[in-house]
Amino acid sequence: MLVALKIKRFDPERKPAAWWSNYKLEAAPGDRVLDLLVRAKDELDGSLTFRRSCAHGICGSDAMRINGTNRLACKTLVRELGSRITVEPLLGMRVEKDLVVDMEPFLASYRSVKPYLINDEPLPADGRERRQSPAERLRFDDTTKCILCGCCTAACPVFWADGEYVGPAAIVQAHRFLFDSRDRGAGEHTAALLDMKGVWRCRTIFQCTLSCPREIKITQAIAEVKQAIVLGK
């Protein structure tokens, strides 16, 4: 099938800095949007810029807005979209070039929840691992799936209005450690979530959950973090 691919371009050194590129490409329904981008760059315009690494939906590099919703280009098939495909960069983040946005503020929010296991207690008597039952592991299984692609945070209207809001991705990371039975750092994970820029800023608009390419139940995780804070987890 013939696909009309429309891409929002941006180059700070060019005038005008923003424009649209339109390409016509022959594609199979099973092709991924990433395949089309790679072909457009290889065959039609070498200056087209986007990020990708694994090409298999696990590194989180190629989050972008495809036909108006955030997705991973490597996990979106032409078949799902039809013959007109529009690709734009994520919203709410500064565009550096074409589809590449500045992820640094996003990653700073991620770091603010101390996304690592905090436990200063001595190791178990055998000096080996801290054990956990399958049920305890299951408690935070959903939020371990996050690949930090940014689809959720860049789909959040609260984040669009105020880039200082920590955003759903950071709260998902806090959830992952907060509900880990081995973790003792609840207060440290949630410290950054208590103020105006934190978890209470969530308005349950649900855009995060709908845009997550890993199908994490993000709004639910955020609600559980809110509960944990109120009930003193």
| Dist. CA 93–CA 105, nearest whole Å | 8
Quick one: how far is CA 173 from the chain centroid?
11
Residue 17 binds to other proteins (criterion: CB under 8 A) = no
Contact pick of 59, 81, 100, 223 for other proteins (by CB under 8 A) = 223
Distance CA 147, CA 114 (A): 16
Q: Which does 100 bind (CB under 5 to 8 A by kind): ligand FES, other proteins, none?
A: none
Burial of 64 (C-beta count, 10 Å sphere; 0-12/13-18/19+):
buried
Residues with Cβ within 8 Å of 13's Cβ and at least 6 positions away in sequence, in order, are none
Our finding on whether 61 is near ligand FES (CB under 6 A) is yes
Question: Which tokens hold the place of 17?
Answer: 């800095």
Q: Which amino acid is located at 23 in the chain?
A: Y
Beta carbon of residue 67, minimum distance to other proteins (angstroms, whole number): 7
Q: Tell me, by CB under 8 A, how many residues bind other proteins.
A: 28
Least distance (Å) from ligand FES to the CB of residue 93?
A: 17
As to burial, measured by CB atoms within 10 angstroms (0-12 exposed, 13-18 middle, 19+ buried), residue 87 is: buried
- Give min distance, CB of 171 to ligand FES, in A: 21
Stretch that binds ligand FES, among 8-16, 22-30, 52-60, 217-225 (CB under 6 A): 52-60
- Report the nearest approach of other proteins to the CB of residue 220 (Å): 4
Residues of the shown chain interacting with ligand FES in the complex, contacts defined by CB under 6 A:
52-55, 57-62, 72, 74
